[in-house]
Amino acid sequence: MLSIVSTPIWNLEDITLRALRTLREADIIACEDTRTSWVLLHHYEISKPLISFHAHSWDVKVEKIITLLQEWKHVALISDAGTPGISDPAYILVKRAIEEQITIVPIPGASAVLSALVGSWMHMHDFRFLGFLPVKKGRETMFKSLINKDYTVVVYESVHRILRTLSDMEKYLGADHQIVVARELTKKFEEFKHGTIQECRTHFEQNICKGEFVIIF
Ligand code: SAM
């Protein structure tokens, strides 16, 4: 059985009782970075064998985990933060497990996309989550395809590209387009910046621009 277990995006209180029980019951925990996950699990006093897999070594590691699952081991899959598979490499393992007809049990919990969306003022009956925007190829086409959209869009962005993305959004969607930038969700300096693209860009240019970001527009 492969349990897909959501863990906090930062605040360690954001984990479900079911997630904790599943992690305690699992034979092995598959994770992205063993050091990151060891710290997390140590906090909950959970000690289990860890097996890492990440985008670079996924082919070998995923097959190793598939073998364990075929030996009837209970593997709990976690990612560095949030819900495995949402903009992280976990989906690769899930896909392979489904191909091998292994039972999949998702354990829901924290994810930056939903926390940002429900804390924004944007309508949420029709939204599209695009994950990370293309960095080079397809970036312009992507922005152009969103110019006349009639639904809410949610994207993830890193500290390295937030200003460039806001600047590109200003260019393609217009300086007056209303957006929300959610920063450092569940952390001490959680922030929701509402306003036009120009206002948000100026705000993050003028203030110390740190952390993890979700943009909603
Ligand atoms: N699996 C995670 C989830 O369920 O949200 C997402 C992993 S993805 C590799 C990392 C990106 O998620 C960050 O670059 C950021 O855009 C977003 N993110 C994760 N944690 C966040 C937080 N605490 N505040 C704002 N954005 C966050």
Domains (ranges, CATH) in the chain? 2-107 (3.40.1010.10), 112-216 (3.30.950.10)
pLDDT of 37: 97
CB of 111 closer than 6 A to ligand 1? Answer: yes
pLDDT per position as a tens digit, 30-67: 999 999 999 999 999 999 999 998 767 677 889 999 99
Q: How confident is the model at residue 198 (pLDDT cuts 50, 70, 90)?
A: very high
Atom of ligand 1 nearest to the CA of 83: 4
CB of 40 closer than 6 A to ligand 1? Answer: no
Interatomic CA distance for residues 25 and 105, integer angstroms:
13
Atom of ligand 1 nearest to the CA of 186: 23
Measure 212 CA to ligand 1 centroid, in angstroms.
6
Interatomic CA distance for residues 7 and 92, integer angstroms:
18
**Ligand 1 pocket: which of 80, 187, 190, 214 to mutate (most atoms <8 Å of CB)?**
214
Q: How confident is the model at residue 106 (pLDDT cuts 50, 70, 90)?
A: very high
Share of the chain above pLDDT 70, in %: 99
pLDDT of 100: 97
pLDDT per position as a tens digit, 131-184: 999 999 999 999 999 999 999 999 999 999 999 999 999 999 999 999 999 999
> Reduced to 3 states, what is the DSSP secondary structure of residue 52?
strand
pLDDT of 166: 97
Close Cβ partners of 130 (under 8 Å, ≥ 6 residues apart): 142, 153, 154, 155
Measure 163 CA to ligand 1 centroid, in angstroms.
17
pLDDT of 14: 98
pLDDT per position as a tens digit, 81-102: 999 999 988 888 999 999 999 9
Close Cβ partners of 137 (under 8 Å, ≥ 6 residues apart): none
pLDDT of 207: 86
Secondary structure letter of residue 134 according to DSSP? P
